[in-house]
Amino acid sequence: MTKKFTHIDKNSPHMVDVGQKEVTQRTAIAQTTVQLPEDMKAHIADGEIKTLKGPVFQTAIIAGIQGAKRTSELIPLCHQLNLNKVDIQISVNEELEVVITSEAKCSGKTGVEMEALTGASVAALTVYDMCKAFSHNIVIKETKLVKKTGGKSDYIV
């Protein structure tokens, strides 16, 4: 079986027709890693970074949820989904990596991978925005899909 792109044909890009697909429970989990510079270690207390702009992780969680909800406005060929759940979790490990995990769920005809990926990405951008006054030496290292269920096939890293 030859794989092909679903959003492009010989004529033009298009939104995939999911009208005939069955409604199933869809879930996706994505993760983004943000590397903080060593000198930011002193600003982390009780698993949170506090700045003059407010608590960084709490703000990033809200931004990530908003981003997931607005995915179809940001990614041109994404379907608008009625999300049942968006959950953003943020932690910092020993290497000063901020690990952002975004979970999205819906009952629908198409997956929620892009919503989970967008949620994690927007949360990471918010961490950067809130910490850039301290240092521009912050690196958003990786965004990846960790798991998806529902639809034609499941995926787990």
Contact 96, 41 (CB under 8 A): yes
Q: Specify the DSSP class assigned to residue 95.
A: T
| Residues constituting the chain | 157
- Catalytic site residue 154? no
Residue among 17, 39, 129, 154 flagged as catalytic:
129
Residues 6+ apart with CB under 8 A from 72: 78, 79, 80, 81
Catalytic residue positions, numbered: 129
